[in-house]
Every structure is written in C-alpha cells, then in structure tokens.
Amino acid sequence: MNINEIKAQFDHIAEKYDARRKCFIPCFADFYKNSVSLLKNYRKDLLNIVDLGAGTGLLTKEIFEIYKNAHYTLIDISGDMLKIAQERFKGLNNFDFIEENYVENIPVKNCDLVCSALSIHHLENEQKVKLYQKIYKILAKGGCLINLDQFIGESDLINKLYTEWWYNYIDSSGLTKEEKAAWLKRRKLDRENTINETIKILKNSGFNNVTCIYQFMQFGVIIAIK
C-alpha cells in the first residue's frame, strides 16, 4: 500500500467526494444508514467513538444521529478530506480530527466503538491483520468494531458477476469520463478480501462475536464485538 499515493488521490477528490458517493455505491442508504442503525440495539451508551479513514465524516454523521453525546475522534491521512469533516461538524465540541496514518498509530484508548467505511480494503493483508489486533486492544470490554467496506466474491465467477454489474451501474450513474477514469485509478489501490476471510482474521484477532450484517454484491458490513 502506497500511503502517499492514497493521500494524494483522496486530497484531490475531497471537494466532490460526498456529492458523488451514490454514483459509486448503489446500496448507499442500506450501507451507511440502515446497517449502522443496528448498533443502537446492541448498546445505547457508546461514548468513545473512533472513525478510521473518516474522510469527510459520512459514516460519523450517521453514527452521530444515534449517539449525540459521544466523543468522536476522526482519523484520516487526507487533511483535505478532514477539513470537510470539520466543516460538517462545525460548532460541536465533542469532535477531534487527527491527520494520521491509522495503520501506524491510533492515538486513542478504551474505545466503545471503532468504525470505518471504505478504507481498510486499501491495506495489504498483513497490515489488516495487525490493524485488527490493534483495534481489539484499544477497545474496552463490550466495545465493538463496525466495518463498512468492499469485498471480493468467494469465487472468480461470482466476483466477475459482481464487478460487471457494478461497472455497468457506474456507467449509467451520470459520472463524467474524467471522474470514472479517476475512480479506476483509485481502484488500483484496492486490496479486498472475501467476507469470510475477513471474519476469520477478526476471530483470530480475539473477537468471539463476528458476523456480516449486510451484503450487496461487493459491499458488506461486518460487526465484531469484544
């Protein structure tokens, strides 16, 4: 994973990022809102929340609707993306914004919730293993991880079907040729696992309660509880 290349590409698209999300994510509402709503059925007292690869704060925005009294730490390597997140939550005093490579450092302890959306799939497999172990350590007992991400299919055929459908959706989404070309360039940075591989890594990291709560083709949401 080339951190500098990822940072440069996401800095470049920061201003247009939110407006174009639905062009890339066909299941946007289920992915960002409905799946996350399950958290309130688990615990109503999540008070220390960390968003890894927070970007412009899209995921934090949905979680904030459930836990308005929590303290939020948004971590991202793209300062330009975090500037948009800061503007989104302007005037609120329960937010911290940290420009940092979370693979190397997560400067928070005793978290109730670690969340992430469309970020961890950029990591190499050995980095994912170390990250999940680190997340397990920084979570308080009863804390949980929710990861909204991209995953490959369980076989080459299934993955081919998913990819063809997704690319056809994007072709008809209204994106310009330049926007699609930029997205295809970013796709080269992706290092997806299958959902089952991810669940296995999480269980090996110490999480006993792990499941996929939502999947639509290449998009999935995994919860792991400590």
CATH code of the domain in which 180 resides: 3.40.50.150
For the ranges 4-8, 178-182, 183-187, the lowest mean pLDDT is seen at 4-8
| pTM for this prediction | 0.89
Residue with tokens 């990022």: 17
The encoded tokens of residue 137 equal 């350590």
pLDDT per residue as tens digits for the range 75-132: 999 898 899 999 989 999 999 999 999 999 999 999 999 999 999 999 999 999 999 9
Residue 179 backbone phi and psi in degrees, to 5: -65, -40
Tell me which residue of 27, 25, 133, 115 sits closest to 63, measured CA to CA.
115
Residue 60 has pLDDT above 90, yes or no: yes
Range of the domain at 96: 3-225
H helices of 96-148, in order, are 125-138
Residue 13 has what pLDDT? 41
The encoded tokens of residue 36 equal 């996350």
The encoded tokens of residue 118 equal 């469309």
Give the total number of structural domains in the chain: 1
Residue with tokens 């996401």: 10
Decide: helix, strand or coil at residue 209.
strand
The span from the CA of 53 to the CA of 3, in Å, is 12
The span from the CA of 103 to the CA of 189, in Å, is 15
Secondary structure tally for the chain: helices H, strands E: 10, 7
Which residues have C-beta within 8 Å of that of residue 167, sequence separation ≥ 6?
Answer: none
Q: What percent of the chain has pLDDT over 70?
A: 92
Exposure b/e, 8-38, CB count within 10 A at least 16 = b: ebbeebbeebbebbebbbbbeebbbeebbee
